[in-house]
Structures are given as structure tokens and as C-alpha cells.
Amino acid sequence: MKRLFGALAVVAIATSGCAGTSTGGIPAAAARQLKPFVSELRVAASGTSIAAVTEKEQALVQEVESLISSGDLSNAKGVKIEDAAATLLNDFKKKYAPTPTPTPTTPTPTPTSESPTPTEKPTKPKPKPTHTITVPPTDTATAQPTQTTTTKGKGNGQGNGFGHGKHGL
């Protein structure tokens, strides 16, 4: 908190000045132009809005840059004012930034109840299914006779292939 107001005091002192004289090496004309920006920053810093302080700090820095560009303020003095304003903003953010609140985590309970041990029940053997195959009867009256073909060979027609009787000897 001391540092926050210290930075604000540096900005205020750096930009204050009496008519025609300079304070801290800042020309009086530049101090007069910066005074409303410093006042607005001071008012914003007395509140709790980070956005308001950020907006006023940026407006002050922009005006300082404008004065440096026009030659009404030296670069060295401009950098001091900008640094003081940046310090004020950073300290303000640290003080008023929302602190993350930890989300309480509640562990999901795991069921630990014991399951009863199952008792064995006698099992009846399941009967095996029986399969019945039904063959439709063939109509013998319409069956066609098997054709036999005779070939010349050593067989005697009895299937033994030797052609010499029953055993072929």
C-alpha cells in the first residue's frame, strides 16, 4: 500500500509545478498539461476498479508520449513519469486483483460394502436335446436303373480285376 501511494506521489510531484518554473526538471507548461491526467489517475486509484486505473494510466502515458514527441518534455523525464504510473498500476493490480478461491473438491465415495458370498445351489443337469432326422421315403417305382458300361479289361465282372474266378488265382 505504501508503494502504491509512493508511486502516485512521484507522478504528482513530477507533474506539479508553479507557473513558469519547473519541479524536478519538468517544464511548467508540460506539468500543467499532465496535471488533469494525474488527478484522474489519483481519483481512480482511490477506488477499487482495476479497469479504471488501467484506463487512466494509459491516458497519462499517452499524454506523456505526446509531450515527448512535441519536444515539451524530455525523454528522460517522460520515462520517469511513465515508470511511476506503471508501478502504481502494477501495485494496484496486486492489491485489488481477485484472488482465486480454491474450489473445494469432495471426493466421490467409493462403495465399500461387502457382497455376501454366494452359496452354491445344486444344479440339475440339463437334458441334452435329441435330434431326429427324418428321411423322406424314395419312390422306387420312378427310380431309374443304373447304367453299366462294359470295358475290355482283365476283370471278370466280379470286381476283383483279375478275371480268373472268384479270387483271381
- Distance, in Å, from the CA atom of 68 to the CA atom of 86, rounded to the nearest integer, reads 17
The answer to the question of residue 92 being in a domain is yes
Q: Kindly indicate the confidence band of residue 19, based on its pLDDT and cuts at 50, 70 and 90.
A: very low
Is 40 within the bounds of a domain?
yes
Q: What is the pLDDT of residue 67?
A: 96
With a CB cutoff of 8 Å and minimum separation 6, the contacts of 85 are 7, 11, 41, 57, 60, 61, 64
Interval 31-43 mean pLDDT: 94
**Residue 158 or 90, more confident:** 90
pLDDT value at residue 17: 47
Q: Alpha carbon 19 to chain centroid distance?
A: 59
Place of cell 488501467: 54
- Distance in angstroms (rounded) separating the CA atoms of residues 35 and 31: 6
Domains in the chain: how many in total?
1
Boundaries of domain holding 52: 2-96
Question: Is residue 69 a part of any domain in this protein?
Answer: yes
The pTM of the whole model exceeds 0.85: no
Residue 65 lies in a domain: yes
User: Is residue 139 domain-resident?
Assistant: no
Q: Please say whether the beta carbons of 54 and 32 come within 8 A.
A: no
Asked if the structure places residue 44 within a domain, the reply is yes
| Residue 68 placed within a domain | yes
Percent of the chain at pLDDT > 70 equals 49
Tell me if 6 is assigned to some domain.
yes
pLDDT at 143 over 60: no
Q: Residues 116-133: what's their mean pLDDT?
A: 67
